[in-house]
Each structure stands twice: as structure tokens, then as C-alpha cells.
Amino acid sequence: MPAAHVSLSELIRVFFRIGWLAFGGPVAQLGLMHDECVERRRWIEDADFVRALNFVHVLPGPEASQMAIFIGWRVLGVLGGALAGVLFISPGIITLAALAAIYVRYGSRPELVGVLSGFRPVALALLGAAMLRLSKAALRTPFQKVLAVLAFGASVFLHVGFVPLLLGCGAVSILRSRLRGPLGTVALLSMVAAGRAEAAAPALERLRDVSLFFLKVGLVSFGGAYAVLPLLREGAVLQFGWITDHQMVDALALGETTPGPLISIGVFIGYLAGHPLGVGLASALSAGFWLFLPSFAFVLIGAPHLDRITSWPGVQPFLQGVTAGVLALMAAVSLALAQATVFHAGRLDWVTLVLGVLAFVVLAVGGKRVNVAYVVLAGGAVGLVRAFVALPG
């Protein structure tokens, strides 16, 4: 039940502050919320925080923003949940929309080209380090490892799409669980296909496509931002052609330097998608709205039934299968993005390769002790030096 002792103004003040300090990925963001809302203010008990963490683990979408929504709901009901969520994600959306505008306007300047060329290998190293951590934590059984290898082959050689591959992996894992014992009832979300009404103008059609695509991303984004990169590339790069592989990696690198969930890079992609038609800002805001809407809906509707949702017998087998598929897709997209970043006109860029390898070693060995933003900025500094060396005079 909502707690009466928390005022609306206090909730706004606290989550406004948390939103602008939410650097460092979901672990740091969840730790910040725990310190502020559990340890310092005692808005919720530690046991409730842990139960909520188990709840958001089984939902698609970014865990930290969903935890903010849950805490807001827990203390001030639906209004509190909506406000806490909006305040948490707004700094990242605002910052990335501004960075996208700067990127579009000044992205061809030699200095910025140099900085971005240094960002890219570090971004790929971040993806590789995240994949390594996730594989160690998630691929615990021979079955999951075999499933991940098969899913990788299906993605790379058979070009199976993101959604069917993940649903297939989840179904296979459930089937295996069923063969080993009774399963019980499994509830699966189905996506509703949008109508194909003709747009009044190309700009409106672009906004429609951006909205539908990012709604789809929000509905199936299991495993965090790195896990959803394959779907972002499948749609934004391969299907619609809104951005290039280089711009995809740039978005990832810039996202690591901003507060809030990393999945907010969808706002950056949305801006680039709409900019050629003069609707960059509208497209960015539309991407952000539809990307996060499912998280708000899932938490605000599901929170009253938290224990029942997390105790469904089929949830864990499904998520184990999905995780194997996510890792396979991450490996496939890492391969494609690495090829686009390390090779230029068919020639290997040794500086980029070495920078990426060094960044990967630092991130893999340092783990949580390493501040990711500093590594990204260091890569940008190397790229800037290269740009000045290459400039005439």
C-alpha cells in the first residue's frame, strides 16, 4: 500500500537528483536507489527492495528505471510510480537528444570525427566485456551453452530475426524443462501488430515507423541495453537504414557517458532517424516515449501481483532460454560492428584494433572497479590526438 509519510514534493526532489546522478550502469543505479530510498529515507524495507528486484528481473525493459517506477508506486501509488520513472529517465533522454543534435550538426568536423573514432573501439570493448560477464553468470549448464551456439549459427548463417530467435530459445528451454518434470501454466506476452494506415506525409510516416519500432524494442528488451543491441541494429540499420553501423557504435559510446539507462540510446537513434525529414526532436521524443512505455505499464500493472508473477513455474526456464539466445545475438552483432569499426576500405586499422583490445582488457580485468565513462573518454582523447596528428599544418 502507498505510504502516507512521503510527500509528492519530496519524491520529486529525490528522483530528480537520482536521475542526474545515475551514471555507471544498472548496478550503480540500483545501488544509488537502495542507498537513498532504503538506507537513508526508509521509504521501503530491504526485503521489499529485494522482492522488487526479482520482479523487474523477469520483465522486459531496463531494471533500474523499473525499480524507480516500483519505488514510486510503493510510496505514492500510480502517480508516484509514473513521476519517479519519468524523473529517472528524463536526464538521459534530454542529454542524448542534445548530443544527437550536436552530432548531426558538427559530426563531420575533424576534431569530432577523431573523438568518435576513439570512442568506437571502446564501445565494442564494452559490448565484449558485457557479453563475457553475462555468459559467465548465465550459461551455467551444457544445455544453455549448446543452445547459445545453435542460436549464434541461426543468427549469422540463417539470418533468423531477433524476436523469433528469442521466442524460439525460450520455447525450447520450456520444452526441456517440461520433459524433466511438470511445468505449470506459463503466461507469454504477445505483440499486437500495428495497422498500416497511410501517413499524410513522409515525416509522419517516419514518426509512425519510429514509434512502432521502439514500442517493439520496449516490449522485448530482455537482458538490458547490450542485449537489445541486435534488435536495434536489425531495425535501425538493416531494415530501415536510419543509421549506419558506425553511428550505432557512436550511440553506444555516447550513451555510456550520460546518466540513466543505456537503452536511452534509442533517443539518439530516433533523432538521427527523423532529422533528414526535419523531425529530429519529435522523432527522438517519440522513440523515448514508446521505448519506455512498456516498462511503466508492466510495473504499474504487475506490481500488485509481484509474488505471483515471480513464482510462475515457467518464468525461469523461459528466461534461461532467452538469455542463451541474447548472448548468441550479442556475439553476432559484435562481429558485424567490429568489422565495420576495425576495417576501413578493406584495410585493417591497427590503432583502432589495439585500442579496442586494451579497453577490453581493462574492462574485463577491472570489472566493477573501473569507471566506464573514464575509459570511453580516454578512447576519445586518443582519437582526438590522432585527428590532430592527421590534420595538416
pLDDT in tens, 60-110: 888 899 999 999 999 999 999 999 999 999 999 999 999 999 999 988 888
Query: Do 61 and 98 share a domain, yes or no?
Result: no
DSSP structure class, residue 348? E
pLDDT-based confidence at residue 310 (cuts at 50, 70, 90): low
- Domain that residue 42 falls in: 8-89
The confidence score (pLDDT) of residue 225 equals 73
Give the mean model confidence (pLDDT) for residues 291-316.
82
Query: Mean pLDDT score of the chain, rounded to an integer?
Result: 83
Query: Taking 50 as the threshold, does the pLDDT of residue 158 lie above it?
Result: yes
Give the mean model confidence (pLDDT) for residues 223-233.
82
The confidence score (pLDDT) of residue 140 equals 80
The confidence score (pLDDT) of residue 372 equals 80
Apex 15 CA angle, 13 and 19, nearest 5: 120
pLDDT-based confidence at residue 240 (cuts at 50, 70, 90): very high
Query: Do 22 and 39 share a domain, yes or no?
Result: yes
pLDDT-based confidence at residue 393 (cuts at 50, 70, 90): very low
Q: Are the CB atoms for 377 and 257 separated by under 8 Å?
A: yes
Query: Do 69 and 149 share a domain, yes or no?
Result: no
The confidence score (pLDDT) of residue 345 equals 66
Query: Do 82 and 104 share a domain, yes or no?
Result: no
The domain boundary, picked from 73, 89, 105, lies at: 89
The domain boundary, picked from 89, 112, 133, lies at: 89
pLDDT-based confidence at residue 369 (cuts at 50, 70, 90): confident
Q: How many domains does the chain have?
A: 2
Query: Do 75 and 97 share a domain, yes or no?
Result: no
Q: Are the CB atoms for 156 and 334 separated by under 8 Å?
A: no
Query: Do 340 and 363 share a domain, yes or no?
Result: yes
Alpha-carbon dihedral angle through residues 123, 288, 228, 165, given to the nearest 10 degrees = -150
Query: Do 56 and 98 share a domain, yes or no?
Result: no
Q: Are the CB atoms for 25 and 372 separated by under 8 Å?
A: yes
pLDDT-based confidence at residue 124 (cuts at 50, 70, 90): confident
The confidence score (pLDDT) of residue 390 equals 63
Query: Do 104 and 83 share a domain, yes or no?
Result: no
The domain boundary, picked from 72, 89, 106, lies at: 89
Q: Please report where in the chains the cell 510510480 appears, as a residue.
A: 81
Apex 353 CA angle, 355 and 253, nearest 5: 60
The confidence score (pLDDT) of residue 150 equals 87
The confidence score (pLDDT) of residue 371 equals 79
Alpha-helix residue ranges (DSSP H) falling in the chain: 8-21, 25-33, 46-57, 63-106, 110-138, 142-156, 162-180, 202-220, 225-232, 245-255, 265-274, 280-302, 306-310, 315-342, 350-366, 372-390
Establish if 220 belongs to a structural domain. yes
Establish if 376 belongs to a structural domain. yes
Query: Taking 70 as the threshold, does the pLDDT of residue 358 lie above it?
Result: yes
Establish if 3 belongs to a structural domain. no
State what percent of residues in the chain have pLDDT above 90.
Answer: 35
Establish if 343 belongs to a structural domain. yes
Establish if 142 belongs to a structural domain. yes
More confident residue, 274 or 169: 274
* Cα–Cα distance, 171 to 174 (Å, whole number): 5
* Cα–Cα distance, 263 to 279 (Å, whole number): 21
Query: Do 109 and 214 share a domain, yes or no?
Result: yes
* Cα–Cα distance, 367 to 126 (Å, whole number): 11
Establish if 232 belongs to a structural domain. yes
Establish if 45 belongs to a structural domain. yes
Residues contacting residue 93 through CB under 8 Å, at least 6 positions apart: 260, 264, 267, 284, 285, 288
pLDDT-based confidence at residue 185 (cuts at 50, 70, 90): very low
Q: Which of 270, 376, 269, 296 is nearest to 24 (CA)?
A: 376
Give the mean model confidence (pLDDT) for residues 102-127.
86
Query: Do 139 and 243 share a domain, yes or no?
Result: yes
Give the mean model confidence (pLDDT) for residues 10-30.
88
Phi, psi of 249 (to 5 degrees): -70, -40
* Cα–Cα distance, 366 to 372 (Å, whole number): 10
The confidence score (pLDDT) of residue 296 equals 95
